[in-house]
Amino acid sequence: METVSLHDLVLDRALNPRLHGVDQDVVEFYAGIFADVVWPPILVDRATRKLLDGWHRVEAAKRAGIYSLAVQWVEAKEEELFALAVKANLGHGIRLSREERFKAIARLQREAWTPERITEFLGCSAGMVAKTEKAEDLRIKYKVHDNPAARLPTETLVEVVRLPEEFRDEVAELACEVEATCSDVRRAVRGVKQGVVVATADIKRMMTDPEYAKAKLKAATPANSGDWLMTFATLVDQIETAQVSLNPLERDTAVQLFVRMRNWANRNLVSLGVEQHPSLM
């Protein structure tokens, strides 16, 4: 196995797909056991001597006083070096996070790689590439409108684009407001898609309180029986007979709710084979 002097390596940070670079805790751990482990070779481009894979091993070796490592040379075009670094980190060692994978795909898309080339080169799914493209298109829209949602992680925007368009901006802005994690947003998106929450206050609480999400889902009436139709009819009767007095916030919530109900009703009338209900003629 060939070796390379660490002094000859070119450490181009732009080729490291990890968002936060080298984890010093990992380096410290590796350094402590370095002499007792047979490490896999680092990956280096032969022409440029640029390091593609093995950042933690290189830093740990230096800390352990070792300045020569086994190397696997690659010969590639300059435009392929980052993709090779990503591919190597997908296959072994400390796996790239979902956000790092999305970011890597987004970068290749900006560099004019086709979806087919990305999936073939990295071995990732076509669905993941398509989701990344939609998420980054949404980010561009937010940047144009100077919307703070443009700074959301790609992983979060991937969840947002799963929503109907009328909910995307609101959910993205709420995610910024409450500093929601991706899992928080995923929970809220699930609630909206299942019709469990539609009002702004409920969506916000769904993001910030996992127990509230569980309670709302548990309280949702199963749709595999006709009981929910009777419940719905009873609620409509109550609404029609109520004396309504709303403050501005409640009014906005009511408008969102009724628009969603109207859209839901229109879709279901069509699915029932009714183009227009007689009472609406």
pLDDT, tens digit, 9 for 90 and up, residues 19-46: 999 999 999 999 999 999 999 999 999 9
Of the candidates 128, 127, 85, 139, which has an alpha carbon nearest to the alpha carbon of residue 105?
Answer: 128
Please identify which residue in the block is written with the tokens 């009511």: 254
Give the per-residue SS3 of 93-134.
CCCCCHHHHHHHHHHHHHCCCCHHHHHHHHCCCHHHHHHHHH
The beta strands (E) that lie in 46-186 are given as 51-53, 68-74
Residue 104 CB: number of other CB atoms within 10 A? 26
Is residue 257 over pLDDT 80? yes
- What is the value of pTM for the model shown? 0.74
Q: What share of the chain is helix, strand, coil (3-state, %, to 5)?
A: 65, 5, 30
The model's pLDDT over 64-116, given as tens digits with 9 standing for 90+, comes to: 999 999 999 999 999 999 999 999 988 776 889 999 999 999 999 999 999 99
For residue 272, count other CB atoms closer than 10 A to its CB.
Answer: 8
CATH 3.90.1530 in the chain is located at: 3-95
pLDDT, tens digit (0-9, with 9 covering 90-100), for 181-237: 999 999 999 988 888 887 888 899 999 998 887 787 776 655 556 666 767 777 777
pLDDT for 281: 44
Domain covering 3-95, topology: 3.90.1530
Confidence bin at 270 (pLDDT 50/70/90): confident
